[in-house]
Amino acid sequence: MATSLPLIPVTRREAPSSTDKGSAYEPLASVWYGEDAELIERLLSFYPRKRPRRILDATVNGGRFWKDSKRPVIGIDIDPRHRPTFVADNTAMPFRDDSFDVIVYDPPHIPNQGKDKSKDFNTRFGLVVRSSKENHYTFTHTFPPFVKETYRVLKAEGILLCKITDYVHHHRYQWAHIEFINAAREAGLTPCDCIVKIRKGPIIDPKWKNAHHSRRQHCYWLIFRKSKKCE
């Protein structure tokens, strides 16, 4: 007779923890309802083979990911207004080969959006960054130079954590997460895992009068390893 496994249901906002009775290890759910900072902490405990000593945030902006973190993090940003550790372009990083155990990447997500004067969305989510017709009004062209540079500065077995969202623009669904995975594979990184992060509600603009696509209420955290294999 087949024995049934003791499955632990993971309910909304409730990820299993090491304190769950009967858990011999700390499972990580593939859906996340909490904040990025908490998730990153979980990812940093889960994927690196040993405790990461050198962590780079390649798009640090205001450093929200590290608000309550005690981890020493080097942050770069191309925009000096965010006062990063180094003002630098993440497609030409001022670091030696094999320098970091982990790189975190949260690029501008949606190009050519209007300015929302009431919120700090513009700088937080890179909404004011433009993309041209030649680049198909997407940021896809920025992925290959970034992942190539990431491959160079990551140590062997190092981890790339990438937050990315698909979006609808120009009446087309833009498959950013697939474009990113393809670019990373091409650069030699192995895609290892994917966590779906759910936000409280979809972003809706009152000026939209018609809907042809579902409204995004999630993004992805993609996990890559500079290795031939994930495990």
Ligand X SMILES: C[S@@+](CC[C@H](N)C(=O)[O-])C[C@H]1O[C@@H](n2cnc3c(N)ncnc32)[C@H](O)[C@@H]1O
Residues paired with residue 221 on neighbouring β-strands, in sequence order:
163, 195
Pick the closer one to ligand X by CB: 127 or 189: 127
Pick the closer one to ligand X by CB: 29 or 87: 87
How far apart are CB 222 and ligand X at their closest, in Å? 15
Pick the closer one to ligand X by CB: 41 or 79: 79
How far apart are CB 97 and ligand X at their closest, in Å? 19
Q: Which residues bind ligand X (CB under 6 A)?
A: 59, 61-65, 76-79, 82, 89-91, 106-108, 124-126
Pick the closer one to ligand X by CB: 32 or 125: 125
How far apart are CB 160 and ligand X at their closest, in Å? 14
The 3-state secondary structure of the chain reads: CCCCCCCCCCCCCCCCCCCCCCCCCCCCCCEECCCHHHHHHHHHHHCCCCCCCCEEECCCCCCHHHCCCCCCEEEEECCHHHCCCEECCCCCCCCCCCCEEEEEECCCCCCCCCCCCCCCHHHHCCCCCCCCCCCCCCCHHHHHHHHHHHHHHEEEEEEEEEEECCEEECCEEECHHHHHHHHHHHHCCEEEEEEEEECCCCCCCCCCCCCCCCCCCEEEEEEEECCCCCC
How far apart are CB 94 and ligand X at their closest, in Å? 11
How far apart are CB 104 and ligand X at their closest, in Å? 8
Pick the closer one to ligand X by CB: 103 or 181: 103
